[in-house]
Amino acid sequence: MTDENPFAPPTPRAAVPSANESRTPAADPTPVPAPPTAPEQVTEQLPPPAPPAGGPGEQPTTQLPAAGFLTTVAAPAFGGTGTGDPHAPQQARDLAPGETPHQASHGTDQHAPTQGTRSRRGKLGGRAVSAVVALGLLAGAGGGAAAYALLESQESARPADAALPKPAAGATQVERPEGSVAAIAAAALPSVVSIEVRAQQGVATGSGMILKADGYILTNNHVVAEAASGADVTVTFSDGHEQPAELVGATPDYDLAVIRVKEKGLEPLVLGDSDEVVVGDAVLAVGSPLGLEATVTTGIVSALHRPVKAGEAAEAAFIDAIQTDAAINPGNSGGPLVNSAGEVIGINSAIAQGPGTTAATGNIGLGFAIPSNQARHTAEQLIETGTATFPIIGVLLDPSYQGEGVQVSQEPQQGTPAVTPDGPADQAGLKPGDVILSIDGRPVSVADELIVAIRAKAPGDPVTLQVRSDGDEREVRVVLEERSSGQ
């Protein structure tokens, strides 16, 4: 969060020197007169309050630019030690001898006096401190008695009754009918979990939703990616109890993963039909943004079929995304986007950032979710086989092409032919240098749009491509081929 840390430690008390403190002369040679003799009192020195523990922070995974003028970054996670998140709360630690809580939380003050220039009040001995404390208590007691006597003598100046008005019984009733935001949130929250992944390089947190009553949970691949390397995964449920989880399967191609806890009787959320979503539909985003569990934000579906490319180039996820203005922040990743019927229509996965920004800094009203129909198909594959597949047409695209449509590469790239021999495109008659103008009547202008449109299909589905070849345009029917993640 960009605001000042609300969990900063309180301003510490002034340190009281010990009775046995060294009386080494300060840099200022002016003598300090001895305090008057007073009866010695023993004062117990209380330890300064330790700063509260803060959550570790991790900078979210940087995402590559999507089509258009925006950059999308994953909102995975909030957390991670050693990654330099400037907005993460500071880690609590023990105080060093002589260190105040203020120094522990803000570092050493360059202008603070050193041992050789200790302030004069630091020379007061234990007896002097006891005397000052005793005098302060006496003055406080005397002042309090005098003030009470003054008020007793001026009864007319005191209010007779300070009770504030109260609403009449039954006069105010907040309506929360079925379908209201409050009702939808109350139904969804018990089925949304917070996920923590502890790896050697740090801690990451994200969100997830319960898929099945016997412990299956859906989230983003980038939230639990380190689990494939043996990182520990812990799930926190809405009632606060925790369970360790194991990775069932994951695919970076769709940025989805399924984990499982050994627990029965969970309440799953229903995956709705994302094909029925229209722009303007009211939605709720549920999750744990910035580690704040069980957070609900509202908005609308602001666009459909946004081509979003998320992740590193080698493992980029191509998402035919639902765009929403519901607030999505790091840590929301993997949580559900819920419609007004309480059904999940998307899995929150990425947020947009302005030009030149490569790290997730917070919500700007442009969040992206994986459509629920894609999530259902992929989750079923991950549960049944541990892996997922995606469709291809078998061509390499030229990213440097600037004309209308998307051009098939004219030359092989790193030894890979521009058109895969005997692949779907080759069988349909596509040649190197052909320009694809649309898919199923939907125009495409950049390579990511075509890839996303294909990934939204299933292997074996037929698609119709509008193709320009040597100045002539024609329609080409291509049956999509299956490829497994990691191939």
Tens-place pLDDT, residues 433-480: 999 999 999 999 999 999 999 999 999 999 999 999 988 999 999 999
Higher-confidence residue of 70 and 474: namely 474
pLDDT given for residue 359 in this prediction: 67
Sorted by sequence, the CB contacts under 8 Å of residue 170 that are 6+ apart come out as none
The CA–CA distances, whole Å, from 37 to 20, 41, 130, 131 equal 18, 12, 10, 8
CB 234 within 8 A of CB 243: yes
Query: Mean pLDDT, to the nearest integer, of 249-254?
Result: 95
Side chain identity at residue 424, one-letter code? P
Residue 85 pLDDT > 90: no
| Residue of 85, 255, 281, 325 marked active site | 255
Can you name the residues that pair with 261 across neighbouring β-strands?
245
Is 333 annotated as catalytic? yes
- Give the H/E segment covering residue 375: helix 372-385
Mean pLDDT of all residues in the chain?
78
d(CA 91, CA 79) in angstroms, rounded, equals: 12
**Residue ranges of domains in the chain, CATH in brackets:** 57-94+178-387 (2.40.10.120), 389-484 (2.30.42.10)
| Residue of 130, 207, 333, 372 marked active site | 333
Q: Which of 161-165, 251-255, 270-274 has the lowest mean pLDDT?
A: 161-165
Residue 43 pLDDT > 60: no
CB 86 within 8 A of CB 100: no
Query: Mean pLDDT, to the nearest integer, of 156-178?
Result: 80
CB 88 within 8 A of CB 125: no
> Residue 10 — pLDDT band, cuts 50, 70, 90?
very low
Query: Mean pLDDT, to the nearest integer, of 72-76?
Result: 62
Question: Which percentage of the chain shows pLDDT scores above 70?
Answer: 65
> Residue 485 — pLDDT band, cuts 50, 70, 90?
confident
Question: Which percentage of the chain shows pLDDT scores above 90?
Answer: 56
d(CA 4, CA 267) in angstroms, rounded, equals: 37
The CA–CA distances, whole Å, from 481 to 101, 376, 396, 426 equal 63, 20, 15, 12
Angle at CA of residue 57, ends 54 and 59, nearest 5°: 165
d(CA 346, CA 288) in angstroms, rounded, equals: 16
CB 223 within 8 A of CB 76: yes
Query: Mean pLDDT, to the nearest integer, of 396-418?
Result: 94
Residue 133 pLDDT > 60: no
pLDDT given for residue 39 in this prediction: 45
pTM value is 0.69
End-to-end CA distance of the chain: 39
Residue 37 pLDDT > 70: no
pLDDT given for residue 171 in this prediction: 75
The CA–CA distances, whole Å, from 173 to 124, 183, 406 equal 63, 15, 58
> Residue 406 — pLDDT band, cuts 50, 70, 90?
very high
| Residue of 105, 222, 409, 438 marked active site | 222
Is 255 annotated as catalytic? yes
Side chain identity at residue 175, one-letter code? E
Q: In terms of residues, how long is the chain?
A: 487
d(CA 106, CA 4) in angstroms, rounded, equals: 13
Residue 382 pLDDT > 90: yes
Task: Look at residues 40, 44, 23, 41 and name the one whose alpha carbon lies nearest to residue 32.
Answer: 23
Residue 338 pLDDT > 60: yes
Residue 344 structure tokens: 């999940």
pLDDT given for residue 309 in this prediction: 86
> Residue 163 — pLDDT band, cuts 50, 70, 90?
confident
CB 224 within 8 A of CB 233: yes
The DSSP 8-state label assigned to residue 276 in this structure reads G
